[in-house]
């Protein structure tokens, strides 16, 4: 059983086009799919689930689509927070969500973080206004500040120190690197997602568009993952 599963939830727009509905309707259907995967991951005993909800590049989309996505986030928190809390799910955010995210969405996020802060079940990480290159740049700046102020010497910088300075590091309780990264919709790339953390991750790609991704397919991928031999650069 993987301890940490990360998902690139791709295909909402193509699902909408395929079904003759608006892109926002596609995002709404994707949100419903995400809700079911959270439940399934929790039921299966997965400790960490990370979803790529909104990237730093997604701001290039139309203002209407971007606004609609964040309205759906507010809707999700409003309708699902009580159940998440009841099921002992802990919500975390990966990314600089306070910088550009609309105020109503920020308020909803803060409420989710505060409400679930003491939970110790499934940790649900939402990558929001997230980009891995920006994350690594931020970590380098943090470490540069430590060297410039004399707290550490440059030769003392370690991989562990860099990892601690990432969004998945000390601020969020040292989230372990993902064992498995799933991407839907047939694309086979990381798209600036968890580049540092994915060094030894296994990958699973499916042609299924995200709104059609079911708990059954998720479980099937997890079962296939369990048959893989992970050597981390070593030998069997």
Q: What is the mean pLDDT of each run of 10 residues along the chain (236 residues)?
A: 97 97 97 97 98 96 95 95 97 92 96 97 97 97 95 95 93 88 97 98 98 98 92 60
Type and span of the H or E element at 48:
strand 48-55
| 194 located within any domain | yes
- Residue 56's domain comprises 4-130+177-225
| 185 located within any domain | yes
> Annotated catalytic residue: which of 12, 19, 28, 58?
58
| pLDDT at position 229 | 81
| pLDDT at position 232 | 60
Say which CATH number the domain at 23 has.
Answer: 3.40.1180.10
| 13 located within any domain | yes
> Annotated catalytic residue: which of 10, 42, 85, 212?
10
If one counts the domains in the chain, the total is 1
| 161 located within any domain | no
| 146 located within any domain | no
| 221 located within any domain | yes
| 138 located within any domain | no
- Is this structure's pTM higher than 0.75? yes
110 is catalytic: no
| pLDDT at position 174 | 87
| 145 phi and psi angles, rounded to 5 deg | -60, -40
| 58 located within any domain | yes
71 is catalytic: no
Report the 10 Å Cβ neighbour count for 201.
Answer: 19
């Amino acid at each position: 059983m993987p301890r940490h599963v990360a998902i690139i939830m791709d295909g909402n727009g193509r699902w909408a086009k395929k079904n003759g509905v608006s892109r926002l309707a596609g995002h709404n259907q994707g949100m419903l799919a995400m809700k079911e995967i959270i439940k399934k991951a929790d039921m299966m005993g997965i400790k960490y689930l990370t979803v790529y909800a909104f990237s730093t590049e997604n701001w290039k989309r139309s203002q209407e689509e971007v606004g609609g996505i964040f309205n759906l986030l507010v809707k999700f928190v409003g309708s699902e927070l009580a159940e998440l809390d009841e099921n002992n799910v802990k919500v975390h955010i990966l990314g600089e969500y306070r910088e550009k995210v609309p105020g109503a969405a920020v308020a909803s996020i803060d409420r989710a973080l505060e409400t679930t802060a003491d939970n110790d079940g499934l940790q649900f990480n939402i990558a929001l206004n997230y980009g891995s290159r920006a994350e690594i740049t931020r970590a380098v700046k943090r470490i540069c500040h430590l060297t410039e102020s004399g707290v550490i010497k440059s030769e003392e910088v370690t991989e562990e120190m860099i990892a601690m300075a990432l969004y998945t590091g000390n601020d969020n309780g040292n989230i372990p690197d993902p064992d498995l990264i799933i991407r839907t919709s047939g694309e086979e790339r990381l798209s600036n997602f968890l580049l540092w953390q994915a060094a030894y991750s296994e990958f699973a790609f499916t042609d299924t568009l995200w709104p059609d991704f079911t708990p059954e397919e998720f479980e099937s991928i997890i079962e296939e993952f369990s048959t893989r031999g992970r050597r981390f650069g070593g030998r069997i």
